[in-house]
Amino acid sequence: MPKYAVELGEVGKDDVDRVGGKNASLGEMIDKVDVPVPPGFAVTSEGYDFFLWKAGIRDEIRQVIEKTDIDNIKELIEGGKKIREIIRNSELPRELREEIKEEYRKLGERTGSDKPLVAVRSSATAEDLPTASFAGQQETYLNISGKEDLMDAIRNCMASLFTDRAIHYREERNFNHFKVKLSVGVQKMVDAVCSGIMFTIDPDSGYEKILHIDGSWGLGEMVVGGRVNPDRYSYFKPTESLVSRDLGEKAEEMVWENMETKVKDVEEERRKKYVLSEGEVEYLSKHGILIEKHYGRPMDIEWAKDRDTGKIYILQARPETVHSQKKGGVLRTYRLEEEGRVLCRGQAIGRKISSGNVNVIMDSEEIEDFEEGQVLVTDMTDPDWEPIMKKASAIVTERGGATSHAAIVSRELGIAAVVGTKNASDVLETGQEATVDCSGGQGRILEGKLGFNVEEKNIKDIPETETDVLLNIGVPENAFDLGQYPVQGVGLVRQEFIVSSYIGEHPLKLVEENRSEEYIQELSYGIGKIAAGFYPRPVVVRLSDFKTNEYADLHGGEKYEPKEENPMIGWRGASRYLSEKFKEAFKMECKALKRVREEMGLTNVKIMVPFCRTLEEARDIKKELADNGLEQGKNELELYMMAEIPSNIVLADRFAEEFDGFSIGSNDLTQLIMGVDRDNENLQDLFDERNEAVKRRIKELIEKAKKKDREVSICGNAPSMYPEYIEFLLDAGIDAISVTPDVALKTLLRIHEKERGT
C-alpha cells in the first residue's frame, strides 16, 4: 500500500513523481547536502490521486476542461474557478487524513509544540524541471496551526493545481492535466525577519562566476511578488568574496498576505540597513555553491532568516531555467539608432530593446483588454498576469527587483523589461508610443518608437588577433555582460563614473563628515564588479581624473575646489594626489583599490596614473601608493601611466624605468601637442587626433617603450571613432587597443584583416 504522507528526509531528487520537484529537492538537501532546511513532511502524489478517486471528482474536472476554450481568457478564468470549487468542497479521505495527522504529530515532537506553526506549499510533479518552470502557479499557505486548518490548507493547495494560469501553461506546453499531479509540503514555519531569492549565476547576463542574492525585510513573497525593490548582492565564486551590493527601496508600509498578522510598519532603523551582513552573504552564498555543485547545474534558491534564532534556512532549490537552456557562443548586441526623451527609469532585465504602444493596466482582472505587441505597464505582476505577458513586446513595472515575478518571466519569455520604476503609471499613458531600452545595463523608457538594430555574432566566428583588444568601461552595471566578449581585458576603468553616479559627493566632504567608509565601500564595489566580470583577465583602473570644475560639480564640491581658467591643464592627476589639500581623499581611493585586490581577491586589477608631468612626480606617486598599501610589484601589482603629455613622450625612456607600461590618452595628448582646448567649441575644427604631429609622437612613444621592453596600449577615443586609426597603430607596433564596447567586435575583425594583410 502506498504511503500518502512521508517525512521530507526520506525522499530525494529521484522521487519527483511521488512528491513533486519542490519536495524532492528539499528532501535531497536534507539527506545529501549539508544545508539548513526546516523539517517537515510531504503529502504524496499517491495521496492526491487517492483523494481524486475516492471523492469521485476526476471526471467532473475533465468535463469542465473539455468544455472550456483555453484561449478565451474569460472562459479560462471561469473554468478554473469551477474546478477549484469542486476540489475545495470535497472531503479528504479518512486514510489520507490519518497519515497527515500522524506526520503532523511527529513534526510537533521535533519542534517542541502540540500545534506547530507550519508553511503549507504546493509541489507539482512537473514542477522545477530543467526545461520548464511551474514555479508560482500553485498556492502557498503560511502560519497554519492545528489539524483542521492544516487539512483545509492542503485541500486548497490541491485545488490550486487548476488555477487558470496553471491550466493555460500546461495546455501551451502539452502537459497532460492528470499526469501533472500535486504533492503538498508541510514544513516548520520560519518566522522570517528577512528573506529572498538566490541565483547561482547572474540572472541577467548568465555569468556563471557570479552568485546573485536578492533580499528584503519580511517574507520572500515581498521579493518574488515584486512588492519591494530588494537589496541586491553579487558574490564572486572564484575568490569567495562579495563584489557588489545595492541597497533597495524599502517599503513605507508592508502588508504580509496569507498571514493572520498584518505588519503595517517596518522599524525605521531597518529601512536604512542592508538586510544581510557581509558575513551572512558569505554564509548563504557558500550554501548556494554547495547546492549548485550537488545538482551540477545553475540553481534558483529561496532562503529566509529566522527572527528569533538568526539562523538562515534554505526553503527551496530548483534548476535555473532561462540561461541553462540557451545555446552559448552567440553575442547579440542591441543598440539604439536614435535618442529620445527619457520618460522614466528602473532596473533593466536583460539587455534588449523593444517598442510598442503602451497599455497601462493596474488590475489583473482587466488583462482581457491587452493586445499583442503592446508594452505592458503595471504596478507589479504575479502568475495571474502570465497569459498576457507572453503577448507583450516589453514589460514595465513600478515595483520589484531582479528576482521579482515580472523579471523572472520576462527572462524566460526573452522580452525586454524594466522593473522598479516607481512612477511608470504616472508618466506613461495608454496608447502612447514608447521604447523600452535595457541595452546599457540601466532600464529606460523613452518617448516614441525609436529605431534600433541588433548585431548577432557567434563567438566561434570571432578570430583571434596578435594585437590585444581591450574595453573602456565606466559604468559597472553591464560588466557581467561585457565580460563575455572575446576580448583580452579592460584597458581603462574610469572611476569618475562610479564617483559621480554612485557617490555624488565630493570626497573631502565625506572625510569632513566622518563618512569615509561610504566612499571606500561604493568605490570598491564599483571597481570590484567590473574586475569580477573580466577575471582573471587584466583590468586597468585609472586613478580618479576629475578636473577642478568637475569636482566642484559634485555635491559640496565648491567648498574644496579652486577656480581655474583652464582646468584641463590645472590641478589634476599626480599633482592632486600628492597635494596635502587632497591627501585624505586620495587615501580613501587607495583603500578602495587595496580592498578590491586584497579582500575581494581581484588581483587582476592594475593601476594607472593619469597626467603625470615629471619624473619626480612619478617617483613620488609610487611612494605615496606604497605608503597606502599599493606597492608596485607586491601581490603582482603593476603600475601603468597615461601617456598624454608631451613630456611623457620626450622622456618616455625615463618614465619606462618607473612604470610597467604605457596607455596613450590620445585626447589630452592631441590638445597639448596642438595647443587646442578640446572643450572650446570655436576650435573644434583644429582638434583632430589624426593630425600628423600627433601620430608622429605616438609612434615615437611606441619605439622608445619597445627599447625598454614596455608594452603600449591606447585608450583614447581615436580607435573607436576612426577605423583607419587602427591601421596606423598596428603599423606603429602597438601592443593593445582599448575601445568602447559598441565597436569592440568590429575592431577585432578589422585588426584580424590587417594582420592577415587582407
Instruction: Give the CATH number of the domain where residue 606 resides.
Output: 3.20.20.60
Which CATH number is 79's domain given?
3.30.1490.20
Question: Is 715 in the active site?
Answer: yes
Other beta carbons less than 10 A from residue 389's beta carbon: 22
With a pLDDT cut of 90, the percent of the chain lying above it is 65
User: Which residue in the block uniquely carries the three cell numbers 532562503?
Assistant: 303
Helix axis angle for 16-32 and 278-295, nearest 10°, is 130
Beta strands in 189-247 (DSSP E): 192-199, 210-217, 231-236, 241-246
Indicate the average pLDDT of the chain: 89
Pair (609, 484) in one structural domain: yes
CA distance 521 to 583: 18
Given its phi and psi angles, is residue 750 left (phi above 0), alpha (psi -120 to 50 degrees) or beta? alpha
Greatest CA separation for the chain: 94
Pair (347, 447) in one structural domain: yes
Is the residue at 240 inside a domain? Answer: yes
pLDDT of 166 higher than 90: no
Q: What is the pLDDT of residue 266?
A: 45
pLDDT of 134 higher than 90: no
CA distance 95 to 692: 92
Pair (182, 199) in one structural domain: no
Calculated CA dihedral for residues 36, 41, 44, 47, nearest 10 degrees: -170
CA distance 561 to 37: 56
Pair (341, 243) in one structural domain: no
Question: Is 405 in the active site?
Answer: yes
Per-residue model confidence as pLDDT tens digits over 262-295: 344 444 445 558 899 999 999 999 999 999 999 9
Pair (11, 138) in one structural domain: yes
Q: Domain tally for the chain? A: 4
Is the residue at 26 inside a domain? Answer: yes
Closest to 529 in 3D by CA, of 208, 198, 234: 234
CA distance 241 to 219: 26
Pair (644, 517) in one structural domain: yes
User: Which residue in the block uniquely carries the three cell numbers 547572474?
Assistant: 202
Mean pLDDT across the stretch 557-575?
94
CA distance 279 to 568: 44
Is the residue at 730 inside a domain? Answer: yes
Instruction: Strand 40-43: give its sheet, edge to edge.
Output: 5-7, 40-43, 182-188, 118-124, 140-144
Which segment of 308-317, 509-518, 650-659, 741-750 scores lowest on mean pLDDT?
A: 741-750
Which CATH number is 406's domain given?
3.50.30.10
Per-residue model confidence as pLDDT tens digits over 692-711: 999 999 999 999 999 999 99
Is the residue at 311 inside a domain? Answer: yes
Burial class (CB in 10 A: 0-12, 13-18, 19+), 108: middle
Pair (266, 211) in one structural domain: yes
pLDDT of 383 higher than 80: no
Is the residue at 350 inside a domain? Answer: yes
Per-residue model confidence as pLDDT tens digits over 200-210: 999 888 899 99
Q: How confident is the model at residue 1 (pLDDT cuts 50, 70, 90)?
A: low
Burial class (CB in 10 A: 0-12, 13-18, 19+), 692: exposed
Q: How confident is the model at residue 261 (pLDDT cuts 50, 70, 90)?
A: very low
Q: Specify the amino acid at residue 521.
A: Q
Pair (616, 479) in one structural domain: yes
Pair (319, 342) in one structural domain: no
Q: What is the pLDDT of residue 324?
A: 62
Mean pLDDT across the stretch 14-31?
92
CA distance 495 to 546: 9
Q: Specify the amino acid at residue 424.
A: A
User: Which residue in the block uniquely carries the three cell numbers 552568485?
Assistant: 211
pLDDT of 489 higher than 50: yes
Which segment of 361-365, 409-413, 526-530, 547-551 scores lowest on mean pLDDT?
A: 409-413
Which segment of 463-467, 472-476, 536-540 scores lowest on mean pLDDT?
A: 472-476
Q: Buried b / exposed e across 199-210, counting CB within 10 Å, b at 16+?
A: bbbbbbbbbbbb
Among 168, 405, 438, 612, the one annotated catalytic: 405
Mean pLDDT across the stretch 179-198?
92
Mean pLDDT across the stretch 405-418?
84
Which residues, at least 6 apart from 309, have a Cβ–Cβ distance to it below 8 Å?
Answer: none
pLDDT of 689 higher than 50: yes
Pair (199, 268) in one structural domain: yes
Pair (690, 624) in one structural domain: yes
* Residue that is last in its domain, among 188, 206, 229: 188
Is the residue at 460 inside a domain? Answer: no
Beta strands in 523-615 (DSSP E): 539-542, 605-609
Which CATH number is 199's domain given?
3.30.470.20
Q: What is the pLDDT of residue 664?
A: 96
- Asked if residue 748 lies in contact with residue 486, where contact means CB atoms within 8 angstroms, the answer is yes
Is the residue at 518 inside a domain? Answer: yes
Domain of residue 269, residue span: 192-324
For residues 116 and 271, which has the higher predicted lDDT (pLDDT)?
116
CA distance 500 to 525: 14
Helix axis angle for 73-88 and 164-172, nearest 10°, is 120
For residues 554 and 68, which has the higher predicted lDDT (pLDDT)?
554
Coil, strand or helix: which one is 41? strand
Per-residue model confidence as pLDDT tens digits over 634-664: 999 999 999 999 999 999 999 999 999 999 9
Q: How confident is the model at residue 126 (pLDDT cuts 50, 70, 90)?
A: low
Q: What is the pLDDT of residue 272?
A: 58
Pair (294, 359) in one structural domain: no
Q: What is the pLDDT of residue 197?
A: 93
Q: Which of 193-207, 508-522, 731-745 has the highest mean pLDDT?
A: 508-522
Alpha helix positions (H), 33-72: 45-55, 58-67
Burial class (CB in 10 A: 0-12, 13-18, 19+), 165: buried
* Residue that is last in its domain, among 400, 422, 455: 455
pLDDT of 80 higher than 80: yes
* Residue that is last in its domain, among 324, 353, 388: 324
Q: How confident is the model at residue 731 (pLDDT cuts 50, 70, 90)?
A: very high
- Asked if residue 11 lies in contact with residue 19, where contact means CB atoms within 8 angstroms, the answer is yes
